[in-house]
Copies of this chain bind each other. A is one copy, B any other.
Amino acid sequence: MFQLLATNQTARRGELTTNHGVVQTPVFMPIATAGAVKTLMASEVTALGASVILGNTYHLLLRPGEERMRALGGLHTLMRHDGPILTDSGGYQVFSLANLNSTDEDGVTFQSHIDGARIRLTPASSMAMQDAIDADIMMQFDDVAAGVSTRERYDDAMRRSLRWAKESKAAANPSRQLFGIVQGGTHEDLRKVSAEGLIEIGFDGYAIGGLSVGESRVDTFRITKMLGAMLPVDKPRYFMGGGMPEEIVYYVSVGVDMFDCVLPTRNARHGMLFVWKGDPAECVREAFARAQDGAADFRIADALYEKVQITRGVFADDTTPIDDHNDGAPTSQQYSRAYLHMLFKIEEMLAFRLATIQNLRFYLRMMEELRKCIAGS
- Residues of A with Cβ closer than 8 Å to B? 34-36, 38-41, 59, 63-64, 68, 71-73, 77-80, 316-317, 319, 331, 334-336, 338-339, 342-343, 345-346, 348-350, 352-353
Whether B319 lies near A72 (C-beta < 8 A) is yes
Whether B72 lies near A348 (C-beta < 8 A) is no
Q: A78-B342, A346-B35 are in contact. Are A72 and B317 (CB under 8 A)?
A: yes
Q: List B contacts of A39 (CB < 8 A).
A: 349-350, 353
Q: How many copies does the complex hold?
A: 2
A40-B346 Cα distance, complex, nearest whole Å? 14
Q: List B contacts of A77 (CB < 8 A).
A: 336
Whether A348 lies near B317 (C-beta < 8 A) is no
Q: A39-B353, A319-B72 are in contact. Are A34 and B348 (CB under 8 A)?
A: yes
A1-B339 Cα distance, complex, nearest whole Å? 31
Extra contacts, 15 of them, besides A35-B343, A38-B348, A80-B334 (Cβ < 8 A), are: A34-B346, A35-B342, A36-B343, A38-B349, A39-B350, A41-B331, A63-B342, A68-B316, A68-B317, A73-B319, A78-B336, A78-B338, A349-B349, A349-B352, A353-B353
Q: List B contacts of A350 (CB < 8 A).
A: 36, 38-41
Nearest B residue to A331 via CB reads: B41
The 4 A-B residue pairs whose C-beta atoms are closest, nearest first, are A39-B349, A78-B339, A36-B350, A34-B346
A260 to chain B, nearest CB (A): 18
A143 to chain B, nearest CB (A): 27
Whether B35 lies near A336 (C-beta < 8 A) is no
Whether B349 lies near A72 (C-beta < 8 A) is no
Q: List B contacts of A68 (CB < 8 A).
A: 316-317
